[in-house]
Amino acid sequence: MSRKAIFPGSFDPFTNGHLDTVQRASKLFDEVIIACMTNIKKHPLFTAEEKQMLIEAAVADLPNVNVVALPHQLTVNFAQSLGAQYMVRGLRSPQDFAYEADVATINSQLAPQVETVFLLADPKYRNLSSSMVKEVASFGADVSQLVPANIAEALHEKFGDHHA
Ligand code: ADP
């Protein structure tokens, strides 16, 4: 049976840290499905459909990676409906661990068939977050070292000449 993993996240925007996690996961699993969710509490900049298109272009060189917009549904239920046996999450810090461990525990109760797999963030990306990228981009500063090139361009278009 092929090993299918879902990598869910807000990806608002998708950063080089997310990309590194996807690249590594694509070597561990037969198929990786990136699921973009919209977390209203996190003041979304991009819609799920915009994120899907941007991420598709950013991972175009990874043949076993696909991108979907997460429907309004519990992530583990969606993972099951896709037939994914694994859920990938990245860990940058003890804070990430504390939160992710709670989520993984609930998920394992709801869907014991879906195993959560944590990939430790590369030290280069441990301080990189989507919210930091948004803040830097909102001031019109260069984010080309932090996100894939097409996403830097989309951020530039979103913020335009308006510098917060
Ligand atoms: P969520 O709202 O689900 O936390 P994020 O887009 O912030 O969505 O993150 C998605 C996943 O990617 C999470 O598991 C998060 O810990 C991980 N992640 C975020 N930033 C990085 C990074 N710089 N390096 C590796 N993993 C990361």
CATH (domain of 20): 3.40.50.620
In a domain, 150, yes or no: no
Bridge partners of residue 117, in order along the sequence: 88
Omega into 13 within 30° of 0, i.e. cis? yes
In a domain, 141, yes or no: no
pLDDT of residue 71: 83
Whole-angstrom CA distances from 110 to 11, 65, 102 are: 24, 26, 13
Q: Whose CA is nearest to atom 4 of ligand 1?
A: 9
For 19-43, write each residue's pLDDT tens digit.
999 999 999 999 999 999 987 777 7
CB atoms within 10 A of CB 121: 19
For 98-131, write each residue's pLDDT tens digit.
999 999 999 999 999 999 999 999 999 999 999 9
Distance (Å, whole) CA 112 – CA 116: 10
Decide if pLDDT at 164 tops 50.
no
Q: How far is the CA of 89 from the centre of ligand 1 (A)?
A: 7
In a domain, 85, yes or no: yes
Range of 33's domain?
Answer: 4-126
Distance (Å, whole) CA 21 – CA 39: 20
Count of structural domains, the chain: 1
In a domain, 138, yes or no: no
Q: Where is pLDDT greater, at 163 or 22?
A: 22
pLDDT of residue 52: 96
Decide if pLDDT at 162 tops 70.
no
For 38-79, write each residue's pLDDT tens digit.
877 777 999 999 999 999 999 999 999 999 998 888 999 999
In a domain, 96, yes or no: yes
In a domain, 110, yes or no: yes
Q: Whose CA is nearest to atom 2 of ligand 1?
A: 10
In a domain, 140, yes or no: no
Q: How far is the CA of 91 from the centre of ligand 1 (A)?
A: 7
**The whole model's pTM is what?**
0.95
Residues 6+ positions from 13 with CB-CB distance below 8 Å: 45, 46, 51, 54, 130, 133, 134, 147, 151, 154, 155
pLDDT of residue 39: 75
19's tokens:
């990309």
In a domain, 159, yes or no: no
Distance (Å, whole) CA 105 – CA 156: 38
